[in-house]
Chain A
Amino acid sequence: MKKKEVRAITCIICPVGCKARVTIENGKILKIEDVECSRGEEYVGRELEAPVRDFFTTVRIKGASTPVLPVRSTQPIPKDKILNCVLELVNVVVDAPVEAGDVIFKKPLGLGVDIVATRDMNRVKEK
């Protein structure tokens, strides 16, 4: 017997936030309704198969004017890996100076993306 269901998925690609209605049969998408653009349709498809999210957090930095450095992943990562990825970076301490784009951690959890700095941090004189 065929299993058919309709699921509601809110698109997060842009601030419009389309509320998509997706009809699924036996795990396959039959149709996507109420989405305004093709990027939204792409998102809804990915969200059902393997949802990903942008990843960003801070790591500790020494020798800079503040104690934390903001970082991000070069590409989105699987949604269910966000908290694991944070834990992977918990003990990272970098030394100033750092430039935006510098790789801070290579391929956490073997995900195939790098963690990079998102701002410059100059070295300041030790007090």
Chain B
Amino acid sequence: MTKRNVDIAVIGGGAAGLAAAIKAKEKGIENIVILERNEELGGILPQCIHTGFGLRYFKENFTGPEYISRFIKKAQDLQIESKLDTMVLEITSDKKITAVNSVDGLLTLQAKAIVLAMGCRERTRGALGIAGTRPAGILTAGTAQRLMDIEGYMPGAKVVILGSGDIGLIMARRFVMEGAKVEAVVEILPYASGLSRNVVQCLEDFNIPLLLEHTVTSIHGADRVEAVTVAKVNVDWKPIQETERTIECDTLILSVGLIPENELSQIADIALDSATGGPIINDYMETSVQGIFGCGNVVHVYDLVDQVTQAGELAGESAARYVLNELPTLRKKIVLKAGDNVKSVVPQIISGEEPVTLHLRVKKPMRNVKVKIGNLSIPKRVVRPPEMVVISFTGKAIEKLEKKDELRVSIEGETGP
């Protein structure tokens, strides 16, 4: 069994973990290791072969592989150590890590600080409880993406996509480009879950029908998917039986949401937020356990990788400051609570003293809105559930914020997109 000490261990080598490790190294921390379970660094980006990445961070329009290669190269240039093909089995609140790979065998690391950057996973059929048989041909959108754009396999020829999340929309276009027929994208909500730009360039461009307020009620087929039953739903999301119809297909793709992957955080007794599924964090991206930080989709699911990179940089900088004994403890703790039309708010705890950027997820679309945080009110033209609401407070604005132990964050406005 190999044992060693490190200053910072970063769990996960995707966009968040790479940004954190790079920032920590730049802040003067020498002994950093990235633990990555895949055979290469980059997380999900190598399989996101479409464009639209880096518009904010680099002011350029990159594909996923182009975006992440910049960080992989930088990490290599800075000689940051990474252990690939390495599965972390356990972390403890005193920052001991147990991992395993085929080179070191069982590996124990004692870290001064840990950055959690494990990302998220896709919601599966089990979470939806769709009736019917269990044939081959039911895949999550990300799995289909990996099969097509990394492994070079075509998962199906006649496809129905359940859920209109961005990955589902992007895969609808990829399926058509690779010669498959996409019969429909089925969405239970009255609006698409993905960005409207993806509805245009992935569905409308290829005349793929988007069935709003519909769901899949049953899956048919013995060995392979042969058809699915779809139905319109009422306001309570219950299928209306008379509207049921069958669509022949050999593949059902699920794009029904992402869940932060926090099994390791739970083992370390890190407090989680039931609204995000990720750890509760403060201004510095520090979790409820001192010296353990979180960043990226493990904290909450972001819209853009550019935002994940920024979160990683902040967590990496905080971890470095912690190791150097330069990270102040929050003198004041203000707990932010989700109020009207707010599903989640990150960070959940702020000092009310330092500049901070809040990320909100709304429950339903509204226009001409006011985002209210305690005594402060910020106007926004429109808010939609697929698009994270980002609100940055400068030092000056934060001075004006009332300093209570708990503040509600709510959104008021007119209903409608």
A residues at B contact (CB < 8 Å) = 10-17, 19, 53-54, 56-58, 60, 65-68, 70, 72, 79, 82-83, 86, 100, 118-120
Q: Are A60 and B66 in contact (CB under 8 A)?
A: no
Q: Are A15 and B197 in contact (CB under 8 A)?
A: yes
How many angstroms between the C-alpha atoms of A118 and B69 in the bound complex? 9
Q: Give the Cβ gap from B187 to chain A, nearest Cβ, in Å.
A: 16
Asked if B196 is at the interface (CB within 8 A of a chain A CB), the reply is yes
List chain B residues, Cβ under 8 A from A66.
Answer: 150-152
Q: Give the Cβ gap from B176 to chain A, nearest Cβ, in Å.
A: 8
List chain A residues, Cβ under 8 A from B387.
Answer: 15-16
Also in contact, A10 and B177, with CB within 8 A (given A15-B304, A100-B65, A118-B49): no
**Looking at the complex, which one of A12, A19, A67, A118 makes contact with B152 (CB distance below 8 Å)?**
A67
Also in contact, A57 and B197, with CB within 8 A (given A82-B177, A119-B66): no
List chain B residues, Cβ under 8 A from A56.
Answer: 49-51, 63
22 contacts between A and B (CB under 8 A): A10-B196, A10-B197, A10-B199, A12-B197, A12-B200, A12-B201, A15-B387, A17-B196, A17-B197, A54-B51, A54-B52, A54-B61, A56-B51, A57-B178, A58-B148, A67-B152, A70-B49, A72-B49, A86-B178, A118-B49, A119-B66, A120-B69
How many angstroms between the C-alpha atoms of A15 and B303 in the bound complex? 9
How many angstroms between the C-alpha atoms of A12 and B205 in the bound complex? 12
List chain A residues, Cβ under 8 A from B80.
Answer: none
Q: Are A53 and B205 in contact (CB under 8 A)?
A: yes
Residue of B whose beta carbon sits closest to that of A11? B197
List chain B residues, Cβ under 8 A from A17.
Answer: 195-197, 200
**Looking at the complex, which one of A13, A54, A79, A83 makes contact with B177 (CB distance below 8 Å)?**
A83
How many angstroms between the C-alpha atoms of A26 and B69 in the bound complex? 48
Within 8 A of A (CB), among B274-331: 303-304
**Looking at the complex, which one of B52, B63, B197, B200 makes contact with A118 (CB distance below 8 Å)?**
B63
Q: Give the Cβ gap from B106 to chain A, nearest Cβ, in Å.
A: 27
B residues at A contact (CB < 8 Å) = 39, 46, 49-52, 55, 61, 63, 65-66, 69, 148-152, 176-178, 195-197, 199-201, 205, 303-304, 387
Counting from the closest, the 3 A-B pairs by CB-CB distance are: A17-B196, A67-B152, A12-B197
List chain B residues, Cβ under 8 A from A67.
Answer: 151-152
Extra contacts, 18 of them, besides A66-B151, A100-B69 (Cβ < 8 A), are A12-B201, A14-B197, A15-B303, A15-B304, A15-B387, A19-B196, A54-B50, A56-B51, A57-B177, A57-B178, A58-B152, A67-B151, A70-B49, A70-B65, A72-B63, A82-B205, A83-B177, A118-B63
How many angstroms between the C-alpha atoms of A54 and B53 in the bound complex? 12
Residue of A whose beta carbon sits closest to that of B62? A118
How many angstroms between the C-alpha atoms of A35 and B150 in the bound complex? 38
Also in contact, A58 and B49, with CB within 8 A (given A10-B197, A11-B197): yes
List chain A residues, Cβ under 8 A from B63.
Answer: 56, 70, 72, 118
Residue of A whose beta carbon sits closest to that of B153? A67
Also in contact, A68 and B51, with CB within 8 A (given A10-B200, A12-B197, A15-B195): no
Most buried by B among A16, A17, A68, A120: A17
Also in contact, A53 and B201, with CB within 8 A (given A66-B150, A83-B177): yes
**Looking at the complex, which one of B55, B199, B200 makes contact with A14 (CB distance below 8 Å)?**
B55
Q: Are B177 and A68 in contact (CB under 8 A)?
A: no
List chain A residues, Cβ under 8 A from B55.
Answer: 14
List chain B residues, Cβ under 8 A from A86.
Answer: 177-178
List chain B residues, Cβ under 8 A from A10.
Answer: 196-197, 199-200
Q: Are A100 and B66 in contact (CB under 8 A)?
A: yes
**Looking at the complex, which one of B149, B195, B303, B304 makes contact with A70 (CB distance below 8 Å)?**
B149
Q: Give the Cβ gap from B205 to chain A, nearest Cβ, in Å.
A: 6
Q: Are B205 and A79 in contact (CB under 8 A)?
A: yes
**Looking at the complex, which one of A14, A68, A100 makes contact with B150 (CB distance below 8 Å)?**
A68
Q: Are B201 and A118 in contact (CB under 8 A)?
A: no
Q: Give the Cβ gap from A116 to chain B, nearest Cβ, in Å.
A: 10
Residue of A whose beta carbon sits closest to that of B46? A119
Q: Give the Cβ gap from A49 to chain B, nearest Cβ, in Å.
A: 16
Q: Give the Cβ gap from A16 to chain B, nearest Cβ, in Å.
A: 8
Q: Give the Cβ gap from B105 to chain A, nearest Cβ, in Å.
A: 24
Q: Give the Cβ gap from B302 to chain A, nearest Cβ, in Å.
A: 11
Q: Give the Cβ gap from B181 to chain A, nearest Cβ, in Å.
A: 13
Also in contact, A119 and B195, with CB within 8 A (given A54-B51, A57-B177, A68-B152): no
Q: Give the Cβ gap from A18 to chain B, nearest Cβ, in Å.
A: 9
How many angstroms between the C-alpha atoms of A13 and B176 in the bound complex? 22
Q: Give the Cβ gap from B195 to chain A, nearest Cβ, in Å.
A: 5
Q: Are B149 and A68 in contact (CB under 8 A)?
A: yes
Also in contact, A60 and B152, with CB within 8 A (given A14-B55, A15-B304, A119-B65): yes
How many angstroms between the C-alpha atoms of A53 and B65 in the bound complex? 19
Q: Give the Cβ gap from B148 to chain A, nearest Cβ, in Å.
A: 8
How many angstroms between the C-alpha atoms of A85 and B304 in the bound complex? 28
How many angstroms between the C-alpha atoms of A32 and B149 in the bound complex? 38
